[in-house]
Amino acid sequence: MAAADAVLPTAGHGAMESWLQSRSDVRERRGLVRAASPIRLSAAGAMLDLASNDYLGLSRDPRVTAAAVDAVQRYGAGARASRVVNGTLPVHAELEKQLCHLTGAESALAFSSGYLANLGVLGALGGPGTLLILDAHVHASLLDAARLSRSPVAIVPHGDLGEVATALQTRTQPRAVVVVESLYSVLGDGANLTALAALCASHDAWLLVDEAHGIGVAGAGRGAVHAAGLAGAGNVLLTVTLSKALGAQGGAVLGSAALREHLLNTARPFIFDTALAPAAAAAASKAAQIIAADPTLVARLQENAATLARLCGIERSPGAVQSIPMVSADHAVRAAAGLRAAGVRVGCFRPPSVPDGVSRLRVTAQADLTPAEMEYAAGLLRTVARAHPANVSEQAGLGRNRNDI
């Protein structure tokens, strides 16, 4: 049959199309439909943004954007190859140096995103001989990384040190890695890093701390691991994203030189991926330098987080993320829409993003918020919290399986 005579199936028929439609119907019924609409820059300028993760406002800092422009002009728009072919540029080496300087780690290896850094490190350390013990609230990238790593996996209740100890004590594998976030991305609470590191040391295990929300925020910007006095500890390694407080894009794994060497040779998301774009590497590198040189920016962020929590009448969490529980996904969506209409953009977290099944508004403090802006937003948030009071029990069961949407 000539190509022109081939009968093409029409859209909307067949098993796959019906399945797509049924999944879409389920999302619609549960109030879980998402959109990725471009924000209108003029409108964004007029909106008060309490939803993004640019905690220090560095994504638009002229020193950071100038570094990105310079890197594009020197090296081009893309890195053109994997790091292990010929994609490693001076900006990558400089970025890794600045990240070590900021966090106190011995070595760093940059990836194209924080997500890939997590896939890379757990893939390279995992396997049948490594037990991975994950806190139930860790980010989706760490859960996916654990699944892909072919390791035995234990998921322990959030913040439960006793369960971590039991998993370590009863393990049959020679190696183990305990996986936590320094500051959790949705609830904003912190892990007890000192106790976890000691527990891991006493059981010959490693502690992997995802500092996505800690770098540039905790410990004068050097991260919660540094603040806990664990920088450079032999059994503690970190992952970071460059896309939140550092205002750029990309990720990194930080730890010993031996770890870096192992990742460079075995981490598939590093080897089989085009290197981080020069502009992003240079921007993140400059942001890391700014944070290390000037702790006042981070101090302003911390002050604003405390003020925002106090004005909203919620318990202050240690990082930039403040969390307000909502009665249901539908209430959370309606509350966020109401706030948007009044000129305030907040995060709306519902399954599968919330690990505990409680939908919530997520409000992120930023260093450049003014007292008047915080008063205005907090007034609205207090009204919203009264109109949509949380009822945790109604939500039981939702969101347990993060693939169930």
Ligand X SMILES: Cc1ncc(COP(=O)(O)O)c(C=O)c1O
Q: Which residues contact ligand X by CB under 6 A?
A: 113-115, 118, 139, 141, 181, 185, 210, 212, 241, 243, 251
Q: How is residue 189 annotated by DSSP?
A: -
Q: Which is nearer to ligand X, 207 or 374 (CB)?
A: 207
Q: Which is nearer to ligand X, 57 or 214 (CB)?
A: 214
In what helix (H) or strand (E) does residue 140 lie, and over which residues does it extend?
helix 140-148
The 3-state secondary structure of 336-382 reads HHHHHHCCEEEEEECCCCCCCCCCEEEEECCCCCCHHHHHHHHHHHH
Q: How far is the CB of 212 from ligand X (least distance, A)?
A: 3
Q: How far is the CB of 244 from ligand X (least distance, A)?
A: 7
Closest residue to ligand X, judged by C-beta, is 114
Q: How is residue 263 annotated by DSSP?
A: H
Q: Which is nearer to ligand X, 248 or 312 (CB)?
A: 248
Cβ–Cβ under 8 Å, residues 223 and 250: no
Q: How many whole angstroms separate alpha carbon 233 and alpha carbon 5?
A: 67
157 CB neighbour count, 10 Å cutoff: 11
Q: Which is nearer to ligand X, 50 or 385 (CB)?
A: 50
Q: Which is nearer to ligand X, 32 or 212 (CB)?
A: 212
Q: How far is the CB of 113 from ligand X (least distance, A)?
A: 3
> How buried is residue 296: exposed, middle or buried, by Cβ count under 10 Å (0-12/13-18/19+)?
exposed
Q: How far is the CB of 118 from ligand X (least distance, A)?
A: 6
Q: How far is the CB of 238 from ligand X (least distance, A)?
A: 11
Q: How many whole angstroms separate alpha carbon 225 and alpha carbon 236?
A: 8
> How buried is residue 147: exposed, middle or buried, by Cβ count under 10 Å (0-12/13-18/19+)?
middle
Identify the CA nearest to 308 among candidates 300, 318, 316, 297: 316
Q: Which is nearer to ligand X, 110 or 344 (CB)?
A: 110
Q: Which is nearer to ligand X, 107 or 243 (CB)?
A: 243
392 CB neighbour count, 10 Å cutoff: 11
Q: How far is the CB of 240 from ligand X (least distance, A)?
A: 9
Q: How far is the CB of 227 from ligand X (least distance, A)?
A: 17
Q: Which is nearer to ligand X, 323 or 328 (CB)?
A: 323
Q: Is the dihedral of CA 274, 144, 319, 365 positive or negative?
A: positive
Q: How far is the CB of 181 from ligand X (least distance, A)?
A: 5
